[in-house]
Amino acid sequence: MRHILCFGDSNTWGYVPGTGERFDEETRWTALTQLLLNNEYTLYEAGLSGRTVNSDDPGRDFRNGASLLNLYLESCRPLDLVIIMLGTNDLKASLNNSIEDIKAAVKVLCQQTIDFDYSPYDKPEIMLIAPAPFVDSADIDDEFSQNITKSKQLAPAYYQLAQELNLLFLDAGRVIKSSTIDGIHWDAMGHRDFATHLAATLKQYE
């Protein structure tokens, strides 16, 4: 049995575009990946809507990823792999982050994962996933509508970071597209396609 922590935001939680409800275990990519791998892997679902890499969100508690990551690393041990997929909410206009700002914050988060004391267990591998870019939508939130083009710059920045830190890397935007319903979240087909791709990728690392 292999154990994987999936640390992310609303697209890891399973946010349904347009309703804000949660996809069920047969739909969201975390649970579906585990099913596709015949439950030989345990995927811990640590997704939270609105989670940032390391920024506080006034009025919304527990959104700062860096402040809570160690709790998950500690409670989910032993771990074979930590998947980090964040950066979407760091593109909010109100946060005024550049791509370099986000890349630097993700680097600190990845280093936090690398440096964590997992004893008596071995350190896990880390997979950095670049979120799928935003797409144009009549209902995209104003916080994100200005940064559709900028969202496409996350993948090359994350790839460079993964090379620098010797991490596994996956570009979600090469596998799925965000839903045109709200421009940000994944629809059921997106979750299915991503789970299928991730399951095949994990099999290659066995």
pTM value is: 0.96
Sheet holding 168-171, edge to edge: 41-47, 2-8, 81-85, 125-130, 168-171
Q: Are strands 168-171 and 81-85 parallel, antiparallel or unpaired?
A: unpaired
Give residue 39's pLDDT: 87
pLDDT surpassing 90 at residue 148: yes
Domains delineated in the chain: 2-204 (3.40.50.1110)
pLDDT surpassing 80 at residue 59: no
At 121-144, the pLDDT tens digits run 999 999 999 999 999 999 999 999
Residue at token pair 């789970």: 195
Chain-wide mean pLDDT for the chain?
96
Contact in structure between 40 and 1 (CB atoms under 8 Å): yes
Share above pLDDT 90 across residues of the chain, in percent, rounded to a whole number:
93
